[in-house]
Amino acid sequence: MLIGILQTGDVPEALAPRYGEYVPMFEAWLRPAGPGLSYRAYAAHNCDIPASPAECDAWLITGSKHGVYDDLPWIEPLKAFLRAARAAGRPIVGICFGHQILAEALGGRAAKSGKGWGAGVHDYQVVHRPGWMAGAPDSFAIHAMHQDQVTAIPEDATVLAASPFCEFAMLAYGDPEAPDAISIQPHPEFDEDYARALVEMRSGFAIPVECGEAALASFGRAVNQQDFARWCIDFLRAATARRNAA
**26 backbone dihedrals φ, ψ, rounded to 5°:** -65, -40
Distance CA 230, CA 55 (A): 24
Would residue 166 show up in a list of annotated catalytic residues for this protein? no
Would residue 96 show up in a list of annotated catalytic residues for this protein? yes
* Residue in 56, 96, 166, 232 annotated catalytic: 96
Query: Buried b vs exposed e over 67-89: b needs ≥16 C-beta within 10 Å?
Result: bbeeebebbeebbebbeebbeee
- The identity of residue 4, as a single letter, is G
**186 backbone dihedrals φ, ψ, rounded to 5°:** -75, -175
* Residue in 99, 122, 143, 187 annotated catalytic: 187
Would residue 76 show up in a list of annotated catalytic residues for this protein? no
Say how many C-beta atoms besides its own lie within 10 A of residue 39's C-beta: 17
Tell me the chain's radius of gyration from C-alpha atoms.
17
Active site (catalytic) residues: 96, 187, 189
